[in-house]
Amino acid sequence: MNNHDTNAFESKIVVKAKLARKSLKDIVKTIKSLKVNFYPLPEAGKARRIAALDGGGYSEDFIGITVMPARAAGAIFEQGKDPIWIEENDVEILTMEDDSRNYGALFRDLLEVKVALQLMEKKPDILFLDGSITNFAYKGIPHSLKYSLDDTSSIEEGSYIDKFLNLYQEFIQSAYKLITKCTEKEVILVGVSKDSRADILGKHLFAQKKKLAFNDVTLVNIIANGKTGFTKPIEFTPTIRELRKKIWKASEVFQEEKFQSFYLSYFILKEGGLPIRIDSLIPQKKFLKDIQKALVTYHDGSGFITPAYLTHNRAHMKQDLGQRIINYIAEEIFEESPEIYRAFFTKKRRDVIQ
């Protein structure tokens, strides 16, 4: 790039930065005009028997196939005792017919729910989930499948759509089982989202359904002004479309209204820290103060939750482990059929060039 091109590019950057600054300044002004209560954090509570879990995975796309090792890890944490760890590991091998991104995410989520159900057998007081509880009932359905799911009788057995629907059904049935068990046994279920991009609180405050120009984390950051605290829990119900009702009914899950809505609030546990989204169950309203105290009690000092941080580290699949699993599968295929290996397991050209 010569000097003329460099100067022209710098001019474009300056213009775009000025436009962005004006737009963002307007957003800040709009948010500051709101009257939002931001409450101080409570005192820490007593030590509890805590369960927490997280999931991780790795994937590699070859020319004709995707290999996805995945794992979920959870533990029971109790003061003065070593953690009791539970893990689930699995791997999926997907062809080009499959929607690897959506199928892989669902595959990992199911492993996490399986670990959560095993943790429930250890009788914890509180169960911290990685991510939003709403994902259980309102897990996304890929657009490529929606029309097919309108008429499930036409789905070919063994097809990708059939495979995805079976996995989806297993996931929501397992998730429903977890939620109902927590409610019956009074295990406090808490969803912790560390990097939420939701705009639920914003829509609630502005009483509108259209997409906002900012998300809740931005909103809370501006309201908090660097201080610790939390927003008042609000009750919200995601949009329930006819297709979702149909799947719920077929799977015999989430028919009760009390499981179709949730509480949501945001916490800043460290001065200047990022807000974390906290979800909880409507039937567990009496535990809202317990949740608030537990978040302070188990704060890791960096703005997150210690049990959730420890399970995240355990569940994370390092690149070298993921690559070893993939290489092992590739070697198994090659030994049996070099022809299949060359046709499906050849690396993509851009990976070779890099």
300, 330: one domain: no
Calculate mean pLDDT across residues 284-302: 96
Domain check: are 330 and 274 in the same one? no
Q: Which two tokens stand for residue 279?
A: 């979800």
| pLDDT tens digit sequence for 60-90 | 888 888 899 999 999 999 999 999 999 999 9
Lowest mean pLDDT among 41-50, 149-158, 335-344: 149-158
Residue 21 within any structural domain of the chain: no
From 19-23, 51-55, 68-72, 116-120, the region with the lowest mean pLDDT: 19-23
Q: Which helix (H) or strand (E) holds 262?
A: strand 262-268
Let me know if residue 5 belongs to a domain. no
* Position 338 confidence tier, pLDDT thresholds 50, 70, 90: confident
Q: Are residues 234 and 288 in the same domain?
A: yes
Percent of the chain whose predicted confidence (pLDDT) is above 70: 91
CA nearest to 170, candidates 111, 91, 102: 111
Cα(276)–Cα(306) distance, rounded to whole angstroms? 13
On the question of pLDDT at 242 being above 90, the answer is no
Could you tell me the two tokens for 125?
Answer: 């007081």
Q: What is the pLDDT of residues 135-147, one digit of tens each?
A: 999 988 776 666 5
Residue 10 inside a domain? The answer is no
**Tokens encoding 194:** 């560390």
Residues 219 and 327 in one domain: no
My answer on whether 274 and 329 are in the same domain is no
Residues 209 and 334 in one domain: no
Judge contact between 216 and 275, C-beta under 8 A: yes
Q: Distance between alpha carbon 206 and the CA centroid of its chain, in Å?
A: 25
How would DSSP label each residue in 176-223? HHHHHHHHHHTPEEEEEETT----HHHHHHHT--SPPSS-HHHHHHHH
The CATH number of residue 99's host domain is 3.30.2170
Residues 335 and 288 occupy one common structural domain: no
The overall average pLDDT reported for the chain is: 89
In a domain, 32, yes or no: no
The whole-number average pLDDT for the span 336-341 is: 82
Residue 14 lies in a domain: no
Query: What is the value of pTM for the model shown?
Result: 0.90
Q: Quick check: is 104 in a domain?
A: yes
212 domain-assigned: yes
Q: What integer pLDDT is reported at residue 288 of this predicted model?
A: 97
| Residue in the structure block whose two tokens are 């790039």 | 1
Q: What is the pLDDT of residue 269?
A: 97
Q: Return the pLDDT at 246.
A: 86
Sign of CA dihedral 246, 252, 254, 256: positive
Q: How confident is the model at residue 352 (pLDDT cuts 50, 70, 90)?
A: very low
Q: Give the CA count within 13 Å in the CB-facing half-sphere of 96.
A: 6
Domain of 173 in residue numbering reads as 39-318
Average pLDDT over residues 145-159: 67
The residue type of 155 is I
Q: Which residues of 39-53 are buried (b: 16+ CB within 10 A; e: fewer)?
A: eebeeebeebebbbb
Residue 351's pLDDT is 53
354, pLDDT greater than 50: no
Residues 348 and 200 occupy one common structural domain: no
pLDDT band at 5 (very low <50, low <70, confident <90, very high): low
Pair (305, 340) in one structural domain: no
Instruction: Kindly state whether residues 284 and 327 are assigned to the same domain.
Output: no
Tens-digit pLDDT profile for residues 186-213: 999 999 998 899 999 998 888 765 677 8
Name beta bridge partners: 279: 191, 264
Q: Same domain, yes or no, for 313 and 329?
A: no
- Say if residue 341 is in the same domain as residue 291: no
Would you say 295 and 305 are in contact if contact means Cβ atoms under 8 Å apart?
Answer: yes
In a domain, 28, yes or no: no
- In this predicted structure, the answer to whether residue 25 has a pLDDT above a threshold of 70 is yes
**In degrees, to the nearest 5, what angle opens at C-alpha 126 toward C-alphas 86 and 193?**
85
State the total domains in the chain: 2
